[in-house]
Amino acid sequence: MPRSPGSAGNPPQIPRRTALLGGAGALGAAVLLPGCGASDRQAAPPIPEGAATGATADGGVLRMARPPASQAETLDPASSLSAYEYLGALYNRLVRMDESGETVPDLATEWEPSEDGTTWTFRLREGVTFHDGTPFTSADAAYTLRRIVDPDLASPQGTVLAPLVDPAGLGTPEPGVLVVELKEPNFEFPALLTSYHCYVIPEGSGDTIGESGIGTGPFRLDSFSPGGRGRVVANDGHWEGAPVLDAVEMFAMTDIQARVNALLAGQVDLISQTNLDFATARVVEASERATIARSVNAQWYVLPMLTTAEPFTDPRVRRAMKHAYDPRLIIDVALQGTGVVGNDNPVPPGTPYWTDHALDHDPDRARALLAEAGREDLRVDLYTSSYDPVFTPMALAYRDSVAEAGIDVTVRNASADYYYTQIWMRRPLMATYWYTGRPADQLLNQVFRSGSSYNETAWSNEDFDTLLDDARRTADEDRRRTLYQDAQVLVVEEGGAMTPMFADRLVGLSRDVLNYREYGFEFDYLNIGLRP
C-alpha cells in the first residue's frame, strides 16, 4: 500500500505529476471539486458501505492505476522498493492474515512449535508449481527466509526476522516439510511471516526475481517496466484455481489527481494505494462511470509526540495531551464518521490481543496534570501536510478539542515534498498514518520497542520491552494475550503516540468492477471481476 512510514518503515515516495497512463496523454483539464458547505453535504450522494458483489463476466481485463515505488522499483518482494500491487498477483506466502487478524494457511497447510517454542515445523501444500512449471518445495521456502534475513539485502522484514531466524537453522528434511530453528523462543513466529515481504520465490532466483516475477500466485508476469506500465495474465494452473480475470494491466501514475481523472474518464477501473478525500470521493460517487468502495479500518492515524523533545519528555504532559482531546470529535471532523475510535492504541479493535483500555476525555484532568508538570500555559506546534487529505482536518480538530484544557496548539503546514524527510520523527509533534494488517507482535515491536528504527516517538520503556519478550516466550495463548494487552496499556498510559482513530480507506473504482475485497495488506486477486 502507500509507502508511508507504516508500509516499509521508509519515507514515502513523494508524488510528482506524470503523463496519464504512462504516456497515453493527460486529460485536458483536472476535475474541479465542489465546495463542501452544509448544503453541499446534504445534497451529496452517500458513500457506499462496501463494494458491489455478484456474478462476473468470464474473463476480462482490469486496468489499475497505481503510484510506483520509484523509478527503481522491482518485483523482488523482499525489497524496500517492491512494486506492491504486483506481489499479491504473482506470489504466495507460507501463511497469510485473514480479516479477523488470524494467521491462516497459504503455501503451508499446518504448523506447530516445539514444546519450548524454539523450533517450528511447517507442512507444505502438495502439487503447487511456480509459473515456470518448477514444483514448489521446502527448499524454496528455506531459500526465501534465508535471503530475507541476509543483511546485505537489507529487506525491511529482515529487521524483524533476523534477530529470530538463524540461516543455518533452516531445515528441509522432506520436500513438503520446512523446519525453522529460532535463536530464542517465539510462539508468535508464524504471524511474522504474513508480511508482504515474505512472498516465496524459487530457490536461487534472488538475482533475477526483480525482473522475472516467477511465483506461485494467481497471475504470471507478462510485462513490467519499473515506474511505468505492466501486465499480469491469468495463471490457469494456480493451486487455488484460475482467477476470474484474464489479465490486470498496471499503469504507474504518481499524481493522485491524474489517477482520479483517469478513473472518471473510464481509462482505468481501479485506483490503488489512494485514500480519497471526501470531496473527491463524492465527485467520484456522483459520476456515471465510477463509485467508491471502503477498505474498513485500513489505516490508523497518529499524532506522535517525540518523547526526547520538550515538552514531551515529561509523561504527565503526554498523558495530559491524551486526556485533553475528544477522539469522536476528530472522527466526525476529519473522517466524517467513517472510522472508529483508536483510544491511543494502534492494535485494531476486534483483532487478536486487542484491549479496550482507554483514557477518558477529561479536560480537567489534563489541566491538573499540566499544573503538576509546571506547564499550565502549554503552547505547542502541530505539523501537518497535504500529503494525506486527513492530516490537516485531524490536526485542526485536535487543536480545537484541546483548547478547553488550556492547551494552545498552532497548526503548521509543511510541504508534502519534504514532509517525511524533514518533519516526520524530527519535530516534537506532527501528523502521520500507518496501514493496518500487521500482527500485534510485529506492530508493537517495530513501532514502540526501545531503539527500533521505526519508533517514531523515540519512546523507551523497559517494562514494555520485557512484556513483549515474555509474550513471545509464552506458550499459553491466554497468558500471551494478557501480556500483549498489558503492553498496550503502557502504550496508552505512558507512550508518546496519540491514536485518535482507525479510518476506512475510500477507494475509487469503476461501476463495472465486482467483488473488490481488500483488507490490511491483502487484495483478493482471485475473485475480483467485471460485470457481464
* Maximum alpha-carbon separation in the chain: 70
In which domain, by residue range, is 348 found? 297-504
Asked whether the predicted pLDDT for residue 316 surpasses 60, the reply is yes
Let me know whether 305 and 441 are in one domain.
Answer: yes
Flag whether pLDDT at 42 surpasses 80.
no
Cis upstream peptide for 311 (omega within 30°): yes
Residue 197's contacts (CB-CB under 8 Å, 6 or more residues apart) are: 8, 77, 78, 79, 82, 148, 155, 156, 157
Residue 486 lies in a domain: yes
What pLDDT score does 37 carry?
38
pLDDT score of 474 more than 90: yes
- What is the Cα gyration radius of the chain? 23
Domain membership flag for residue 212 = no
**Do 429 and 308 share a structural domain?**
yes
Residue with cell 477518558: 360
Residues 246 and 360 in one domain: no
Whether the Cβ atoms of residue 495 and residue 252 lie closer than 8 Å to each other:
no
Has residue 11 been placed in a domain?
yes
**Residues 346, 424: one domain?**
yes
- Position 414 confidence tier, pLDDT thresholds 50, 70, 90: very high
Are 234 and 118 in a shared domain? no
Instruction: Return the CATH number at 55.
Output: 3.40.190.10
**Could you give the percent of the chain with pLDDT greater than 90?**
77
31 part of a folded domain:
no
CATH of the domain at 152: 3.90.76.10
253 and 366 belong to one structural domain: no
> Confidence class of residue 528 from pLDDT cuts 50, 70 and 90?
very high
Yes or no: say if 345 and 358 are a contact pair by the CB < 8 Å rule.
yes
Strands 95-97 and 103-105: antiparallel
**CA–CA distance, 485 with 477 (Å, rounded to integer):** 12
> Residue range 26-51: average pLDDT?
47
CA atoms within a 13 Å half-sphere pointing along the CA-CB vector of 178: 29
**Residue 184 three-state SS:** coil
pLDDT at 4 over 80: no
Instruction: Please answer whether residues 382 and 410 qualify as being in contact, where contact means their C-beta atoms are separated by less than 8 angstroms.
Output: yes
**Torsion angle of alpha carbons 37, 40, 41, 44, nearest 10°?**
-160
Q: Dump pLDDT digits (tens) for 226-252.
A: 999 999 999 999 999 999 999 999 999
Residue 18 in 3-state DSSP? coil
Nearest partner of 435 among 346, 322, 305, judged by Cα? 346
Total number of domains in the chain: 3
Mean of all residue pLDDT scores within the chain: 89
From 151, 171, 206, the end of a domain falls on 206
pLDDT tens digit sequence for 483-497: 999 999 999 999 999
Nearest in space to 117 (alpha carbons), one of 165, 186, 163: 186
364 and 474 together in one domain:
yes
269 shares its domain with 332: no
pTM given for the model: 0.83
Q: Are 177 and 267 in the same domain?
A: no
Is position 227 within any domain? yes
Mean pLDDT, residues 61-82: 93
Final residue before a domain boundary, out of 206, 229, 252: 206
Closest CA to 344 of 161, 520, 491, 136: 491
Tell me if 245 is assigned to some domain. yes
Q: Which CATH number covers residue 477?
A: 3.10.105.10
Supply the pLDDT for residue 108: 98
Is residue 275 within 8 Å of 293, Cβ to Cβ?
no
Residue 15 pLDDT > 50: no
- End-of-domain residue from the set 156, 175, 206: 206
The answer to whether residues 122 and 264 belong to one domain is: no
Contact (CB, 8 A) for 514 and 56 = yes
pLDDT one-digit tens code per residue, 332-388: 999 887 789 999 999 999 888 999 999 999 999 999 999 999 999 999 999 999 888
Q: Per-residue confidence at 279, pLDDT binned at 50, 70, 90?
A: confident
Q: What is the pLDDT of residue 44?
A: 52
Q: Is the distance from CB of 77 to CB of 91 less than 8 angstroms?
A: yes
32 lies in some domain? no
- Enter the C-alpha cell of residue 508: 475509487
Any domain includes 63? yes
Q: Are 334 and 201 within one domain?
A: no
Residue pair 157/199 in contact by the 8 Å Cβ criterion: no
**Rounded distance between C-alpha atoms, residue 69 and residue 153, angstroms:** 17
What was the pLDDT predicted at 45? 61
- Give me the sheet containing 165-174, strands edge to edge: 108-113, 119-124, 177-182, 165-174
**pLDDT greater than 50 at residue 18:** no
Q: Which comes out higher in pLDDT, residue 193 or 388?
A: 193
Element at 315 (helix H, strand E): helix 315-324
In this predicted structure, the answer to whether residue 38 has a pLDDT above a threshold of 70 is no
* φ, ψ (nearest 5 deg) of residue 298: -75, -20
Please report how many Cα atoms fall inside a 13 Å half-sphere around the Cα of residue 184, on the Cβ side. Answer: 10
Judge contact between 276 and 388, C-beta under 8 A: no
- Do residues 77 and 158 share a domain? no
Residues 6+ apart with CB under 8 A from 35: none
Interaxial angle between packed helices 363-372 and 315-324, expressed in degrees from 0 to 180 and rounded to the nearest 10: 160
